[in-house]
């Protein structure tokens, strides 16, 4: 399949190895404590599931679901669609994100969570697209730096699709995403 509209960026094996390292680091840093892993739905779903199992100390898991206000205007102001089930006050919190792009979403979330007075608050982000950063954000645990390309797979979607791909693919030509059959053909070839 000679199609360079979509390219394999990170294999499932590369991701798995890195997630294991992040899990080991977190297990070491939080030894004797029980951190709260907070996943930002829906993109962090797959990453959080793997990360939690790579951590060897006890953890709590909770989720938030958010949506950006409006389209296009990236103000970073988000609406909380589903808030945490539990209080994080006095707990060690690790916010788990799929990708940090402009940093606006994360900045908003950190402010929101900080106001709840956790004992500590750190960020674990799988992908860092730093070329697009508007606001600097502290990423304590980072998976990979990636170029300024749109990526899908391993939780990351385009209009709700492709979250279930085991690897991460970068889309060079966004037009290809208009034809799911063509995408499927390219992916079949590389995920086989
Ligand atoms: P930002 O850092 O506020 O710009 O927002 C980051 C959010 O935008 C992520 O949590 C993703 O949901 C989404 N996003 C950014 N870049 C990509 C991408 O390349 N593929 C899929 N979703 C993305
Ligand atoms: Mg997200």
Could you give the CA distance from residue 28 to residue 23 in angstroms, rounded to a whole number? 9
Q: In what order do the strands lie in the sheet with 6-10?
A: 6-10, 168-171, 150-152
As a whole number, mean pLDDT of residues 152-173 equals 95
Ligand 1 pocket member 150 (CB < 6 A): yes
- What pLDDT, in 10s, does the model give residues 108-136? 999 999 999 999 999 999 999 999 999 99
**Residue 2 pLDDT > 50:** no
Substitution site in 99, 105, 152 for ligand 1 pocket (most atoms within 8 Å of beta carbon): 99
Q: Are 95 and 113 in contact (CB under 8 A)?
A: yes
- Residue nearest ligand 1's atom 22 by CA: 156
Distance separating alpha carbons of residues 120 and 122, to the nearest angstrom: 7
Q: What is the pLDDT of residues 55-101, one digit of tens each?
A: 999 999 999 998 876 555 566 678 899 999 999 999 999 999 999 99
**Average of per-residue pLDDT across 146-174:** 95
CA nearest ligand 1 atom 20, residue: 151
Q: What is the pLDDT of residue 68?
A: 75
Contact 162, 153 (CB under 8 A): yes
Indicate whether 182 pLDDT > 90: no
185 pLDDT band, cuts 50/70/90, is: confident
Predicted confidence at residue 155, as pLDDT, reads 98
In the prediction, which pLDDT does 67 show? 86
101 lines ligand 1 (CB under 6 A): yes
The residue-averaged pLDDT of 168-184 equals 89
pLDDT band at 42, cuts 50/70/90?
very high
57: exposed, middle or buried (C-beta count within 10 Å: 0-12, 13-18, 19+)?
A: middle
Residue to probe by mutation, ligand 1, list 42, 48, 76, 101, most atoms within 8 Å of CB: 101
Q: What is the pTM of this model?
A: 0.93
Q: Is the CB of 100 under 6 A from ligand 1?
A: yes
Active site residue 85: no
**Most ligand 1 atoms within 8 A of CB, residue of 6, 7, 43, 47 to mutate:** 43
Predicted pLDDT at 183: 84
What was the pLDDT predicted at 10? 98
The catalytic residue among 50, 92, 101, 128 is 101
What pLDDT, on a 0 to 100 scale, did the predictor assign at position 1? 44
Closest-lying ligand to the alpha carbon of 39?
2
| Overall average pLDDT of the 145-151 stretch | 97
Helix, strand, coil abundance in the chain, percent, nearest 5: 30, 30, 40
Ligand number, closest to the Cα atom of 101: 1
């Amino acid at each position: 399949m000679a199609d360079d509209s979509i390219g394999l960026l990170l294999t499932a094996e590369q991701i798995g190895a890195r997630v294991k390292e992040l899990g080991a680091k977190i297990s070491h840093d939080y030894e004797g404590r029980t951190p709260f892993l907070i996943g930002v739905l829906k993109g962090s779903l797959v990453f959080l599931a793997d990360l939690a199992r790579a951590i060897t100390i006890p953890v709590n898991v909770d989720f938030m679901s958010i949506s950006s206000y409006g389209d296009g205007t990236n103000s970073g102001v988000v609406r909380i669609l589903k808030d945490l089930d539990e209080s994080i006050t006095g707990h060690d919190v690790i916010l788990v994100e799929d990708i940090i792009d402009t940093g606006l979403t994360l900045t908003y979330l950190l402010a929101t969570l900080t106001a709840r007075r956790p004992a500590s608050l750190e960020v674990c982000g799988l992908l860092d697209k730093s070329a697009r950063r508007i606001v600097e954000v502290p990423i304590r645990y980072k998976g990979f730096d990636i170029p300024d390309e749109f990526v899908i797979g391993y939780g990351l979607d385009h209009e709700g699709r492709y979250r279930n791909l085991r690897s991460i693919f970068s889309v060079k030509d966004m037009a290809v995403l208009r034809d799911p059959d063509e995408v499927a053909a390219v992916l079949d070839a590389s995920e086989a």
